[in-house]
Amino acid sequence: MTARFRLAAAVTATTVALTACSAPFSHSHVRPSPFTTHAPARVHVSTGAPSEDTNVAPLTVAAEHLHNESSWNAPRYTVQWPDFADAAGLSSALEDTVTRWKKNFVDASHSDSDSGQDADLSVVWEPVVNAAPLRGIRLTNHTTEAEVVTTTETVYGTTDETWHSIDLVAPTRRAALIDAVRRAAQQDAHVSTGSDVDAAKVFEDVTFDRTGTMIIRIPAGAIGPASAGLLTAEVSNPETYLSAAGRHVRDVAMKDAGHTTAPGSASPITPAETHTDCAKAKCIALTFDDGPGVATESILDTLQRTHAKATFFMLGPAVQAAPDTVRRMANLGMALGDHSWTHPQFPNLSNDQVTSEITRQADAVEKVTGQRPVAVRPPFGAFTSTTPHAGFPFVLWNVDTEDWKNRNADATTKRALDGAQRGAIVLMHDIRPSTAKALPGIIASLQHDGYTLVTIGDLIPTMKTDGA
């Protein structure tokens, strides 16, 4: 109620200001007017998401700053986000959004007995501006109940300042911009909009393309009926609507657009000759899912020191963000695996969506290392007889350390060693510090018992195809 009242008042004030601005007698009372020096803003609204502008330099983050929380318990979720050592405000803003989305999803799923095992939440991130010290990060929320619903938020930050998308629009101009967007929604997209509009919801994802056009992704239901879905407003010449922060972000985004992607494509890595004949050797395969993440480098240190091999089933955004860690894996002769982009449950997706989840990750691995992944591990081990494989073998596990749940080095060690047998595939996660802590003991014990620690690639020739 309060929000609606405030908005109505703001609209009136804005109208007055505009009238004053165009009246010849009041020119001396207004600031140097952008109206006289800039082409007028134009707003166009269309349904659906904007065409992707991917001309942003890749943003690399040390693996130890890549976070991933997931739960196999219903309702299942996986949330990925980065932190930045030199931008505490941006880091905590990202974590706040992720935490809020996670809580909303879990609370909603608990109160709705119809949703359960199949609901899932996947949160991924991408840079929209990457020109240190200014970075802009979009978080994307894919929630699946009956269908996949996508919402996004973009946050900007420098070393000492943080802006949510709404901060890019001048507070005194938000109501006028919402008005212009509502008119354009009606005219361009034939979406009728209500008057009860929450500015905070409309301006959750504001970005700029290389020409300086402001692009607003408006979530379903924020200005029109939810059935109209996501709307995209493009504001050309947005000058008059921008705050000082907005102008700064726009200027940097336009300069940043000069970057083309691929900072020196990686020369292909030829891994050290590591083939082990598992028909002869007593092989066991350790596998690490969901990284690269906070524990990956420490795990690689241990594997390197003990001359052990392992397989990493990685998520696309983390591969893209931590290419040095992925190249280190390849150089050490570790096998690179595909664990999708957003970590969804494949049975919730269309075949095209599954294929895209797999191939987008595989392309990222190839771009960084010159190698294609050796296999796919479907997130949560979930797939059906009709799930497409995109040309890769699906590899599950037969020893589950439950390290994601116990988060305890002793419990993880016990489950790994209790389940160990020739040919076993052990499931662990390189996003858990407790797993990194358990690893030296697990490897010492296995090697003492005569096991050779190999990659999935070594084990595949001895594996039987199971079911589909």
Residues that bind Ni ion (CB under 5 A): 289-290, 379
CA distance 265 to 370: 9
- Which residue, 387 or 452, is less far from Ni ion as judged by CB? 387
Phi, psi of 87 (to 5 degrees): -150, 75
- Which residue, 205 or 289, is less far from Ni ion as judged by CB? 289
Min. distance of Cβ 382 from Ni ion in angstroms?
10
Distance of CA 350 to the CA centre of its chain: 20
- Which residue, 179 or 289, is less far from Ni ion as judged by CB? 289
Min. distance of Cβ 362 from Ni ion in angstroms?
16
- Which residue, 158 or 325, is less far from Ni ion as judged by CB? 325
Min. distance of Cβ 381 from Ni ion in angstroms?
9
- Which residue, 68 or 213, is less far from Ni ion as judged by CB? 68
Nearest to Ni ion by Cβ — which residue? 289
Min. distance of Cβ 465 from Ni ion in angstroms?
22
Min. distance of Cβ 304 from Ni ion in angstroms?
24
Indicate the Cα dihedral angle 271, 272, 278, 280, nearest 10°: 160
- Which residue, 84 or 105, is less far from Ni ion as judged by CB? 105
Both tokens of 128, joined, read: 């929209």
Min. distance of Cβ 70 from Ni ion in angstroms?
6
Contact indicator for 373, 384 with CB cutoff of 8 Å:
no
Nearest to 457 by CA among 333, 373, 374, 370: 374
- Which residue, 290 or 403, is less far from Ni ion as judged by CB? 290
- Which residue, 344 or 379, is less far from Ni ion as judged by CB? 379
Min. distance of Cβ 406 from Ni ion in angstroms?
16
Min. distance of Cβ 294 from Ni ion in angstroms?
15
